Amino acid sequence: MLMRREVIVLGVSSLISLSLLTILGAGRVKVIRPPGVENEEEFLSLCIRCGKCVDVCPTNGLKLNYFSFEDLGTPILEGFCAFYLELIQPSRLKNVEFKKRVWNGNLCFRCIDVCPTRALKRLPISKIKMARINIITERCRKAECYVCIDICPFDAISIERNGLPEIMFEKCVGCRQCEKLCPYNAMVAEPV
């Protein structure tokens, strides 16, 4: 069990380390944000770190950032964004059936609706870019699988001539559903 003095020393040294990293420019790690963030600097200036968006996320995909000092306590997308209330628990069959509908479904955006400062804003879907999805071609099983194509609610994945899935970045919002449900871990999200 740590003694009081050790806890205080550990806390102070951690704070000093984080401060130095921030001063040296290594304080901010690029992260994947929830929908509704158009400009990172504006978002950071408006977010009061209340955590309400994390509390209402139906997929539990939002978490508070504890990776860097400058944006400590801001929301990041560690899981996936359902985007539509009908896709809170996505599956291959459910998503395929959903895409066959004439209407698009009920947008979720609970995180945006609960934000007291409008740090998260309602944007047109075409403006939302949470992450960039990359395909690790060595892991992809191509025609043996194609779960990603069935899962994507935005039809942002097509098939190349060689049989590999291809991300159409102009359509992809970075919701990470393909990454979550890929059985071969061939889909990887990175911050934009």
Total of domains in the chain = 1
13 within domain boundaries: no
Q: Which of 47, 57, 62 is nearest to 116 (CA)?
A: 47
Question: What confidence score (pLDDT) does residue 9 get?
Answer: 57
List the domain range (segments joined by +) for residue 156: 28-191
Q: Which of 45, 125, 116, 119 is nearest to 81 (CA)?
A: 125
Q: What is the pTM assigned to this prediction?
A: 0.82
43 within domain boundaries: yes
Q: Looking at the chain, how many residues does it have?
A: 192
Tokens 């395929």 — which residue? 96
For every one of its 192 residues, what pLDDT tens digit does the chain have, with 9 covering 90 and above? 556 766 565 666 666 665 655 555 555 689 999 999 999 999 999 999 999 999 999 999 999 999 888 899 999 999 999 999 999 999 999 999 999 986 778 999 999 999 999 999 999 999 999 999 999 999 999 989 999 999 999 999 999 999 999 999 999 999 999 999 999 999 999 999
- CATH at 100: 3.30.70.20
114 within domain boundaries: yes
What lies within 8 Å, CB to CB, of 132 at 6+ separation is: 169, 172, 174, 189, 190, 191, 192
99 within domain boundaries: yes
Beta strands in 17-94 (DSSP E): 62-64, 75-77
What lies within 8 Å, CB to CB, of 7 at 6+ separation is: none
> Which residues partner with 167 through β-bridges?
157
